[in-house]
Amino acid sequence: MRESRLIFDRVWKKFHRGEIHDSLRDLIPAMARKLTGRAPSKAELQSGDFWAVRDLSFEVGPGQTLGIIGPNGSGKSTTLKLLTRIYEPSRGHCSITGRVGALIEVSAGFHGDLTGRENVFLQGAIMGMRSKDITRKFDEIVEFSGISDFIDTQVKRYSSGMNARLGFSIAAHLEPDVLIIDEVLAVGDMSFQERAFGRIRELAQSGIPVVMVSHQLDRIAELCTDVIVLNRGEVMARGTPSDAISAYVQQHDAGRAAIVSDLISFDPVEIVSDMPVRSGETFDVRISGRVMEPMGETIEPLAIRVRSLRTGGIVYSSGSRRLSLDLGQPGPFDVHVTLQANLPAGSYMVEVGAQDMLKRKDFATAPSVMVRVSEGIGFKGSVQLNADMKVLSRSGASAH
Amino acid sequence: MGVNAGDVDEEQRTDGRVPGAYVRQHSDTPAAVRHTILGDLREVIAEMKQSRDLVQQLALRDIRIRYKQAALGFIWALVIPAAVVLAGMAVRVAVAYASGRHIDMAQLGGMAIKAVPWAFFVGCLSSGTASLVSNMSLVTKIYFPREVLPLSAVLAQSFDSLIGGLFVAILLPFLGVTASLQLVWLPVLLLLLWCFALGTALFLSRANLFFRDVKYLVQVFLTFGIFVTPVILDAPMFGPVGSRIMMLNPVAPILEGLRLSVVLHHNLLQPLNAPAGFLFWRPWYLAYVTTWALGGLLLSVVLFHRAERRFAEVA
């Protein structure tokens, strides 16, 4: 058997803006053009057409996990549909060697009038499983979904969460040679999401080639070996997860990278410590730049924020003024910041900028950097509270 | 290595499309290079073999949905054929009264044997035509060989018609129809009808996806088709010229063949005169129908397979 591999070779995909007329009335002129040899080539743009994917190439082999990120409409899902053969490339070539498991639209084949049990067999078959394999894994699938009490209930009576859980459980038992994942991590409640992500990690770490699309950047950072950032169908950045995610967050986060000012300029922020940082330990950040004009009381010349890629929210925010550092006078500066990562494991962006405190808005920003925090001293939750436990007295213990 | 501009080696690029649903390769190579009719057929057959569980599950879905929450259950499978026979009887009585002749039981048997295949064909046409459009959410989201959709629609319809057929088989002896050697024509004709129905379903489902007009066209045929197909009336009742024209409809020779062989014990390889005296059954009708059924199926499969990749975009 050939080794499983996904190849995308200079793929272009054209779509049409506006309505495609599909009635017989339009067929006759089109056929006449075809007969006279004036039919437009499918690889060229006609009026109203646009490229949903332009000249995209990648190759994913065993042990590699490729993440594709980008804003809505950037061509991520189109890329996956090209990979899974739902769409045909307008130009270029793509191929998959091996049995494909796609964690996409995991309950698309469900029929409301059928019971959960009947739908497991139906959806499994649609995803390419053999009936005998489904029979063999049926109990496992139901067990994983956690809805065994309702397996003989019609699916139309299910909640949307139950629907998604059952769908994911089927897809998670595919045993593929190649895995394609599209934004299915947000399935069900918290505990099921953890279980689902655990299953995906298990599959990804089994060494099969994986391509995944997600907006949960910390998941991408955790699982992927390579990341491509798409924007309007084109590759905006590609490389290691931290480089690509940094590039994406800067470009994406309300055009942060674009903010330059006459008052202050920043050099790219540097992480001085080794990555990843263990939870609870410190890491150092170096920020340099130049202040051009003296700045007033209402301006924070050096605001620093840490953003969680899991939630997208700010977990920490401070600044030079709050830390009693005077940077308001013109001239170059070179600042060293030591931060303690009292954070759960995950990926974080360090964002630096100059802020107008009245408008609560950055008027200048530095390109952000990503910090990976790895599992440290045992704690779960969102903040490290450095619990200190002491035993004062204990009853029932045998005394010597 | 990782994500660099893929330099695909030439061997992988030229080995073409590998048959089967899971090992796949697709590109924009010009159609003329890649497709031969035989190659397409082999591909379709290989895909169908791999997808047989899927076909079975989809057909099962269609059957289950039809009878779930229906109080009468499988009895509904008999309703359309029974309605055809009843309507036929009404028409026959009117014709008999106008011409001053009696109706006999054999006529009723001839009608009963034609009613179920007709109901089958009509059912395949309507569910087959809709099969792609009504499963659009699947077609645009998940890859599987699209041929399974019309195929499973025809299979689900076959199941219905099997129930109707069994019922007719029990009924026929009571209508005075006896068994004969000519019953061998029954499976032959039914197989031809099945192939023709599948070919039509494939053709129409694809056409309906690209041009939604097709659905209306099919509705017109479903309403008026019974008047241009010898179901209620027998073809010879339309006279020498009328019957010849009517027999051009590929379903007509199949239905008339069923009536002649099963009810009248006629060997279809022999010509037969109508009661009115003119030559009615011509043995070459068999070749005519076979050409339609098998040629149509072949053509539809190839056309369907070649258009398949654009389905998700048109939908």
Q: For A99-116, what is each residue's pLDDT tens digit?
A: 888 888 888 889 999 999
Q: Do A109 and B142 touch (CB under 8 A)?
A: yes
Say if CB B300 and CB B306 are below 8 A apart: no
Instruction: Kindly report whether the peptide bond that precedes residue B145 is cis, defined as omega within 30 degrees of 0.
Output: no
- Percent of chain A residues topping a pLDDT of 90: 22
- Work out the number of other CB atoms within 10 angstroms of the CB of residue A109: 25
Out of B65, B141, B144, the one facing A111 most closely (by C-beta) is: B65
**pLDDT reported for residue B32:** 41
Q: Do A23 and B8 touch (CB under 8 A)?
A: no
The edge-to-edge listing of strands for the beta sheet with A178-182 is: A100-103, A178-182, A210-213, A65-69, A226-231, A234-239
Query: A330 CA to chain B: closest CA distance, Å?
Result: 44
Out of B5, B25, B141, the one facing A57 most closely (by C-beta) is: B5
Structure tokens at B220: 């017109």
**CB contacts < 8 Å between A and B, how many?**
148
End-to-end CA, chain B: 38
Residue in A with minimal Cα distance to B8: A9
CATH topology for the A253-374 domain: Coagulation Factor XIII; Chain A, domain 1 (2.70.50)
State the amino acid at position B294 in one-letter form. Answer: L
In chain B, residues 109-148 whose CB comes closer than 8 Å to chain A: 137-144
Domain(s) of CATH 2.70.50.60: residues in chain A: 253-374
**pLDDT reported for residue A380:** 72
* Distance (Å, whole) CA A384 – CA A205: 29
Query: Is B43 a member of any domain?
Result: yes
Please tell me if residue A77 touches chain B, with a CB cutoff of 8 Å. Answer: no
Query: Is B6 a member of any domain?
Result: no
Q: Is B223 exposed, middle or buried (0-12, 13-18, 19+ CB in 10 A)?
A: exposed
Say if CB A45 and CB A128 are below 8 A apart: no
In chain A, residues 178-207 whose CB comes closer than 8 Å to chain B: none
Judged against a pLDDT cut of 50, whether residue B2 lies above it is answered with: no
Query: Is B21 a member of any domain?
Result: no
Say if CB A371 and CB A339 are below 8 A apart: no
Q: Is A296 exposed, middle or buried (0-12, 13-18, 19+ CB in 10 A)?
A: exposed
Lowest mean pLDDT among A216-220, B3-7, B42-46: B3-7
HEC string of A139-192?
A: HHHHHHHCCHHHCCCEHHHCCHHHHHHHHHHHHCCCCCCEEEEECCCCCCCHHH
pLDDT tens digits for range B187-212? 999 999 999 999 999 999 999 998 88
Query: Is B22 a member of any domain?
Result: no
Please tell me if residue B33 touches chain A, with a CB cutoff of 8 Å. Answer: no
Say if CB A119 and CB A111 are below 8 A apart: yes
Residue in B with minimal Cα distance to A211: B3
In the block, which residue shows the tokens 């060697």?
A97
Say if CB B78 and CB B163 are below 8 A apart: yes
**pLDDT reported for residue A117:** 95
Query: B114 CA to chain A: closest CA distance, Å?
Result: 33
Judged against a pLDDT cut of 60, whether residue A399 lies above it is answered with: no
**Does this complex have an ipTM over 0.90?**
no
pLDDT tens digits for range B106-148? 678 888 899 999 999 999 999 999 999 999 989 988 889 999 9
Out of A88, A93, A113, the one facing B68 most closely (by C-beta) is: A113
Residue in A with minimal Cα distance to B135: A109
Taken as a whole, chain A contains a residue count of 400
For B5, residues 6+ apart whose C-beta sits below 8 A from its C-beta are: A10, A57
Number of compact structural domains in chain B:
1
Q: Do A7 and B6 touch (CB under 8 A)?
A: yes
Q: Do B23 and A113 touch (CB under 8 A)?
A: no
pLDDT tens digits for range B29-47? 444 445 688 888 888 999 8
In chain A, residues 245-274 whose CB comes closer than 8 Å to chain B: none
CATH of domain A5-34+44-245: 3.40.50.300
**pLDDT reported for residue A205:** 85
Query: B75 CA to chain A: closest CA distance, Å?
Result: 20
Query: A106 CA to chain B: closest CA distance, Å?
Result: 9
Tell me which residue range forms the domain holding B131. Answer: 36-314
3-state secondary structure of A347: strand
* Distance (Å, whole) CA B230 – CA B226: 7
Query: A288 CA to chain B: closest CA distance, Å?
Result: 32
How far is C-alpha A246 from the chain's CA centre? 13
Say if CB B303 and CB B295 are below 8 A apart: no
* Distance (Å, whole) CA B212 – CA A389: 72
Query: A383 CA to chain B: closest CA distance, Å?
Result: 35
- Work out the number of other CB atoms within 10 angstroms of the CB of residue B237: 17
Average pLDDT, chain A: 83
- Work out the number of other CB atoms within 10 angstroms of the CB of residue B119: 24
Domain(s) of CATH 3.40.50.300: residues in chain A: 5-34+44-245
In chain A, residues 8-67 whose CB comes closer than 8 Å to chain B: 8-10, 15, 20, 22-24, 27, 42-43, 57-61, 64, 66
- What global pTM score does this model have? 0.79
- Work out the number of other CB atoms within 10 angstroms of the CB of residue B14: 10
Judged against a pLDDT cut of 80, whether residue A22 lies above it is answered with: no
Please compute the mean of the pLDDT values over residues A89-94 and round it to a whole number.
88
* Distance (Å, whole) CA A314 – CA A362: 14
Sign of CA dihedral A201, A207, A210, A215: positive
- Percent of chain B residues topping a pLDDT of 90: 45
pLDDT tens digits for range A182-195? 876 666 778 888 88
Q: Do B3 and A60 touch (CB under 8 A)?
A: yes
Judged against a pLDDT cut of 60, whether residue B162 lies above it is answered with: yes
